[in-house]
Amino acid sequence: MAKYEGTYACGHDGVVNVIGKMRDRQRKIDYAFSHLCPQCAKKEREQQIVEENKNSEVLSKEYGFPELTGSEKQVAWANTIRLDFYNEFENNRTAQKIIENETVASFWLDLDRFNSKREFLTKYERTKKEKERRERIIDIDAVAPEDLKHEGVVEIVKKLDKICLFYLKDQNFIDLVKPKGYRWNEDDCCWYRRLNEETGKYPDRAAEIGHELLRNGFAICIHDSEITEKAINGDYEKERTKWIKYDLENKVLTLHWSIRSNEIYNASRKIVNSRYNREKGCVEIPVAHYRSVNNFAKKFDFCYTEDALKAIEQYKKEQREMRRVKVDK
């Protein structure tokens, strides 16, 4: 890299780096020094922005745009973005509405990140319609406890194999649903739980979480009057937490329970050939001992998954159909 000294158009001295063919260099050097020095250029750009923002402020008033809220710098820059937006979509009705309604400066700063403003307009219109529709529906179905303690309404919805909870961001709410196995879903902006054989069916889980929410002072909305009644009355099938499953790979029955219990553990280990699987946190028992497992299940209120029942039936069948032979004595 070659450095060349010289004087910029503003009169400040400086050094420029020029590379390339020797015969082109003088031209490049002259060109570089024909401008303002970097400091002066920066100052000039800043000055231009200030003037542009001032100009936007004046025009915004003239056009009757609402005043923006935010820090002084935010408002100044947002005025310019809004004015550009207006110039681009002067006759678009949604654009008009946006200008009328969106008076927080940060909204306009965010909008500037959209490469396509047209795309933004479409999205804005769509989400607004969805929001309005949603609010109407919630209004119809919502119920609130007498002792209402929290803003808004928790909407409980079934989405494929998931139960989803839509609500405002609220720590009390999070503290209530998280221990019940709900997780945050960034894409859908909701707390959800996947339903399967062990969690039980949607109506029971919806009524259960709905009941808990009502008891804790939240208004809820379940788009099903029967389930809503169940949530109000606390009338639903409790979630089963003790399960006998089947491990297809190792061909063993596996005992699972979520609440720590030495009594259950000791009883399970008394079954012949039982084995504790530390990794999976369950007790494994060969299918051959299904009778002992059955007694254990009755005593401690365990239930079987479909797969476990099938495995036991299969075992019994094999036993029945085994060839019986007469043995010479």
Residues in touch with Zn ion (CB under 5 A):
10, 12, 37, 40
At residue 234's C-alpha, the angle toward residues 232 and 235, to 5°, is: 110
How far apart CA 247 and CA 285 sit, in angstroms, is: 10
**Closer Cβ to Zn ion, 12 or 126, answer by number:** 12
State the minimum distance, in angstroms, from the CB of residue 1 to Zn ion: 22
Tell me how far, at minimum, the Cβ of 13 lies from Zn ion, in Å: 9
What's the rounded Cα separation, in Å, for the pair 215 and 106?
38
Residue 190, beta-bridge partner list? 185
**C-beta closer to Zn ion: residue 33 or 89:** 33
In the complex with Zn ion, which residue's Cβ is closer, 9 or 148? 9
Rounded least distance, CB 46 to Zn ion, Å: 14
Question: Among positive and negative, which fits the CA dihedral 76, 78, 82, 85?
Answer: positive
CB-wise, 41 or 267, nearer to Zn ion? Answer: 41
Taking the complex as a whole, the smallest distance from the CB of residue 17 to Zn ion amounts, in Å, to: 18
Neighbours of 239 (CB within 10 A): 14
- Report the nearest approach of Zn ion to the CB of residue 18 (Å): 19
Min CB(40)–Zn ion separation in Å: 3
Sequential DSSP letters for 31-42: HHHTS--HHHHH
d(CA 213, CA 154): 8
Identity of the residue, 12 or 270, whose beta carbon is nearer to Zn ion in the bound complex: 12
Instruction: Pick between residue 32 and residue 287 the one whose CB is nearest to Zn ion.
Output: 32
What single-letter amino acid sits at 113? R
Choice between 8 and 236, CB closer to Zn ion: 8
> Of 33 and 315, which CB lies nearer to Zn ion in the complex structure?
33
Taking alpha carbons only, the member of 70, 127, 128, 125 closest to residue 103 is 70
Q: Cβ distance 156 to 164 under 8 Å?
A: yes
Q: Give the CA distances from residue 182 to residues 28, 127, 143, 208, 305, in Å, rounded to whole numbers and listed in that order.
A: 64, 25, 22, 13, 22
Strands (E), the chain: 2-7, 13-18, 153-159, 162-166, 183-185, 190-194, 219-222, 242-247, 252-257, 275-277, 282-286, 303-304
Least Å distance between CB 192 and Zn ion? 59
- Provide, rounded to whole angstroms, the least separation between the CB of residue 33 and Zn ion: 11
